Structure 1
Amino acid sequence: MTTSPHPTTSPSPAQPGPPAPAADWSPACVVFDCDGILMDTEANWARVQRAVAQRHGLAYTDAMERAMMGWSAADVATAIADAAGADRALVHADVLRTEEQTLTAQIVPLPGALETVREFAERLPVAVASNSTRTILGVKLEQAGFAPHLATWVSSEDVARGKPAPDIYAEAVRRLGFAPAEALAVEDSVVGATSAVAAGLVVVAVPSVPDGDPVPAHHRVVSLTDPAFRSLVARWLG
């Protein structure tokens, strides 16, 4: 059996600790990640990766799952195809087909997610920036009830480069009509937070793997119901 993709295929994460915003800073708009922040779809995404990897003779390990957390379908397909010596386009199609087949109506918001999005949306424009494909992202946001509260959402297919490049967050903020420094990003992964920091947003990290690699962010909280996060929201929204 072929070994799993080497970690060097992973996009390089940025180091944590971006410069802090001004003490009186507050957001003019908010951009949320989707998977792992708004809804618990990371487990399904891992199952998709495992199924595709195994079909191509790769051993899917916990280390591989962690390394590819937050990756786009295109990046996952490239890593699997290169490790297996397979055609990238065929593996990419396999990844997309498998994800579509496993996506069900049982998509539910994570605790506090829908309430938080609604709360911000009542006062500020809100977007979602995700490495999902356009179709799958739309299905997830509609099924989980977030779509009516969003001004826009940006997928990996809407920009030249997915996360960890800054393109997705830069495009989301552009659509909302603000400068990156005026925007708040809420992220759970190193890949996603690296993207938001590189785009110039202020980042709140809610790590989905608490004992994983440090997530670069200006603020770190345990969950969207964490009193520390609720205190930040109260301060920002007045």
Structure 2
Amino acid sequence: MNVERRSLLKGMALGSLAGVASMALGGSGLALANAATGRAATRPTLVLVSAEVAKSAFLQGVNANPAAQQFKVQRSDLSLDFVLSLQQRLRSGQPQRIIGLVDDASAALIVDVARSSGARVQWLGQHSASLNRSQHRLLSADAANGCALQLGLHLNACGSGFSLSEQRLLGPQKPLQLGAAARSAAASEQWAATLGYNLASLGDANPGQAPLIASRSAPLTGNFVSFSIEA
């Protein structure tokens, strides 16, 4: 793919993500509500990660979960080949669940392909991480019940500095608001490991404990989007 086409796709993707975030995370949630489902999630069959995330603790968390077995890891990008491959997988008729943590532009393409393919978006999260704090804005369906709370409780127990808000779809629940000041500098990337672990067993009433990770010299920082998609 040439540079001009890649830049065009990236611009379209970022604009699409802004629209999804505005309608879903900041407003009525109608953009994803019709794609949500209330039944329990299946085991993940594909984990999509951006280049930065592939080197982070996110995959460590996914791998540590007993619910994550025989899944494939794939790098996300903005190429037409990636989009067509994902579309083919979602329209194959085979039951499957795709989870991931990627950059904003890749997330917009992935969510658009999922919705156009008739897949169900069970979880969508916007994450911003610095060296001593992480912020999480989450939108979840009934299938993700308890995942946001588990994420917040584990981050607090580990001493991570964080703020978390969750909006639930199709229900009377009030938005969840959690937060804590950092008590340990060693927990700067714990959010990625805990997120990966929890997404792998989304909807499980007893998901177990996410792994504690060692401090890294270059923890994952920046803006990312997480998701769980079921087809």
Larger radius of gyration: 1
Which protein, 1 or 2, shows the higher relative CO under an 8 Å CA cutoff with sep ≥ 6? 2
Return the TM-score normalized by structure 1.
0.37
**Higher-helix-fraction structure:** 1
TM-score, with structure 2 as normaliser: 0.38
